Amino acid sequence: MKKLIRYSVLGICFLVLVSFSFHSYQVQKYDYDDFETPGYCNQCHDLFYQQWDQALMSDAYNHHWDEIEYFELAVAHSENDPDMAGVHEGCNGCHTPMAYLAGDMPPPDPKTGPRANESVSCDVCHSIKGFTGDVPFNHNYIIEPGKTKFSSRKGKTSSPNHEIDTTAFYTQAEFCGICHNEKSPFGVWVKSTHLELKEGPYYEEGVVCQDCHMPEAPAKTAKMGARYNDAKMHLFNGAHDPGKIRGTVEIRMTPDRQELVPGEPVVLTVTLYNQKTGHKFPTGSVEDRIVWLHVEATDEKGNVYHIPVDPKGFEGEEYTIAGEELAYQDMGVPLGIENFEGLRREMVPLGDRIFRMPYFDPQGRMTMMQWNTDSLGVDYRIGPRETKVETYTFELPYEIAPGTLTFRAVMKYRLLLKSVGQYLEVPEEEYQAMLVNEQETTVTVYP
């Protein structure tokens, strides 16, 4: 049964593809039976099991959108385009590592209930002891399943089921970077959440992914074990958690005057401060995701006026202001549609400011298939502790009602492009708009 609560650790649901060209040495190295089931771990680690079971970690393979993107786009692209043969294999290195390590690719249909559905399981994570190379990316983990489980702590009470080997690796952001950094076959960083953290202010202060997505709390790590004041909660809550998203960006709106008459212009300065994330916002599957700011005015009689953003004139800005353009034409290859005209690029109110980084395929068309990404466009996301300022100019209509004029700025976030979700018949919950924040201010309109 699909879970009602689908949280994500920094977007673990993102497809980490193209591993066939990076870490193919891992394929067919182990069998499913080399790993314990999550249910087995639940016998002792009941709290952590229940937290994991409510997180997207437990659904990384059979989650609605990931399943559709994998089978209808990634697998189909691999089959329909000889140049992309095998592109689907690397998805499994992070979405269902046991299947990848067993060489079971593509894994069985999730509806048949295979062990691949265990996704990012307890034993997978606690069998990882490091990574190869200098940078963690594309699941370049060093993994050794067996009787020894790796962790950041070893208590005084021995486990009746396994040995424990401690390693500081579990306290480092690089552990998460293994699956939250990704390069496309064209050598483009299409996922860089860990790298964004390293480049930002928090990393220098010693803050790592686990501090926010696995917060410390008083708890037992195992039924028979000791109680710790700083047990790491296995919540993994991130992009799919509306509570985690809400309040990410602080909004303040300031009009350049408090009193106006019809026909006069007012300029609103909207200040946006990323007060919450250690990485950029949005992050992860940036090709799928969209954050936008909508500003409108409501007069005394309830008439509503939409206010488009004032353009700034920077290169690539056309991708950061909502329009009616079509994009994603390369979806036609996996879908088997010749000369596919594409889909609406945004499906948000025209003229709204968008915070995104566009991805482009080898033909220079905007794509939402990260494995087909040859280049990146302007990065207009909001970095950690970054402040962006937008202006909105509104000329009061002569028919506007006198009295209080209320301006409202609302920032929303969508995990999946609405046009793509609708076209591929993804459940609507996958592309519903989530509220990030909102702010209101008023002026007085005289007759």
pLDDT for 6 = 35
Each residue's pLDDT tens digit, 245-276: 999 999 999 999 999 999 999 999 999 999 99
Same domain, 323 and 187: no
Q: Which of 79-93, 270-284, 333-347, 408-422 has the lowest mean pLDDT?
A: 79-93
Task: Among 232, 267, 289, identify where a domain stops.
Answer: 232
**Hey, which residues does 439 pair with through a beta bridge?**
409
Give the C-alpha separation, 287 to 279, whole Å.
16
Same domain, 332 and 190: no
Number of structural domains, the chain?
2
- Please say if the pLDDT value at position 23 is more than 70: no
Same domain, 46 and 182: yes
Q: What tokens appear for 62 in the block?
A: 């059979």
Same domain, 379 and 345: yes
Q: Does residue 7 sit within a domain?
A: no
Q: What phi and psi values does residue 70 have, to the nearest 5 degrees?
A: -70, -55
Same domain, 29 and 48: yes
Same domain, 281 and 380: yes
Give the C-alpha separation, 314 to 43, whole Å.
57
Task: Among 232, 263, 291, identify where a domain stops.
Answer: 232
Task: Among 232, 265, 282, identify where a domain stops.
Answer: 232
pLDDT for 156 = 83
Same domain, 276 and 181: no
Each residue's pLDDT tens digit, 413-434: 999 999 999 999 999 999 999 9
Same domain, 303 and 223: no
Q: Does residue 5 sit within a domain?
A: no
Peptide bond into 265 cis (omega under 30): no
Same domain, 225 and 247: no
Same domain, 213 and 286: no
Q: Give me the CATH number covering residue 328.
A: 2.60.40.3880
Hey, what's the torsion of the CAs at 9, 12, 13, 18, to 10 degrees? 170
Q: Does residue 436 sit within a domain?
A: yes
Q: Does residue 181 sit within a domain?
A: yes
CA 121 from centre of chain? 19
Give the C-alpha separation, 181 to 135, whole Å.
9
- Please say if the pLDDT value at position 16 is more than 80: no
pLDDT for 29 = 85
Q: Does residue 3 sit within a domain?
A: no
DSSP assignment letter at 109 = P
Q: Does residue 147 sit within a domain?
A: yes
Same domain, 175 and 272: no
Q: Does residue 6 sit within a domain?
A: no
Same domain, 332 and 385: yes
Q: What phi and psi values does residue 54 have, to the nearest 5 degrees?
A: -95, -5
Closest CA to 431 of 444, 416, 419: 416
Question: Residue 329 is part of which domain span?
Answer: 242-445
Q: What is the pTM of this model?
A: 0.92
pLDDT for 25 = 55
Please enumerate in sequence order all residues whose Cβ is within 8 A of that of 124, keeping only pairs 6 or more positions apart, or say none. Answer: 35, 97, 98, 143, 145
CA 111 from centre of chain? 25
Q: What tokens appear for 349 in the block?
A: 């109110």
Run of H or E residues at 210: helix 209-213
Q: Does residue 55 sit within a domain?
A: yes
Each residue's pLDDT tens digit, 110-159: 999 999 999 999 999 999 999 999 999 999 999 999 999 999 999 888 89
